[in-house]
Amino acid sequence: MRLLFIVLFCLCFVGGYAQTAPIPVEVLGGYRGIFYQHTIARPMGGRFGWMHIANVLRVYDTKVYGNELMNQGYVTYGMSRSFTLLLGAHYTNVTDLRGSVAVQFAQQRGDWFYVLMPRADVMLNGSWELFTLVEYRPSVGARAKLYTRLQTMTNAGPYHHNRGYQYLRVGVDLKGVQFGIGMNLDEYGPSATIQPNAGLFLRKELH
């Protein structure tokens, strides 16, 4: 685990000088807890790059479910404008550190943005998951846009469902800052027990 963070820090230092994509950073303050997520993607030269994905949930009451941490670090290879191959590591405070391989499809079409990313553990009897994201940002005025997003993930092992979620955001994009109402539906275990967390979100794409 310590080695992974050292590698990611070095990649950040090397890749930080190149022209890069925006970094979406988001915080949701809800009645169950505070949720944070970001995605960082940086080039390393040619078709190669690196990516870091993080989700953190700090719950107010840990008697039923504890706090959560998810980190993914990848070396990436751009196969085309829309398809990217990812190879690296996946960490949660439940599953610990595992090798991970994924393929990402991402495309912008007008006011719509789509991401589809299947992923699998690189291990015997590991888990697999599917991540999807759809954003819609039409203009509603000279300076403002409507901001809507549906983000989903489902993870299962060889025997049962492990973890999943559906995250919904509805708000306004004003001068590059998105804010509004958010709902997180987190699913746990074989029976996919749902723990909701609704509140207000604040999002910014850092450059």
**Global confidence as pTM:** 0.88
pLDDT grade for 63, boundaries at 50, 70 and 90: confident
Residue range 157-178: average pLDDT? 96
CA dist., res. 70 & res. 91, Å (int): 6
Residue range 136-152: average pLDDT? 96
Q: Residue 12: what pLDDT?
A: 45
Largest CA distance in the chain: 54
* Ranges of H-type helices in 65-191: none
Q: Residue 142: what pLDDT?
A: 86
Task: List, in order of start, the domains of the chain with CATH numbers.
Answer: 2-14+21-206 (2.40.160.40)
CA dist., res. 88 & res. 101, Å (int): 6
Residue range 135-156: average pLDDT? 96
CA dist., res. 153 & res. 164, Å (int): 5
Task: Check whether 4 has a pLDDT greater than 50.
Answer: no
Residue 141 buriedness (CB in 10 A; 0-12 / 13-18 / 19+): exposed
Task: Check whether 1 has a pLDDT greater than 60.
Answer: no
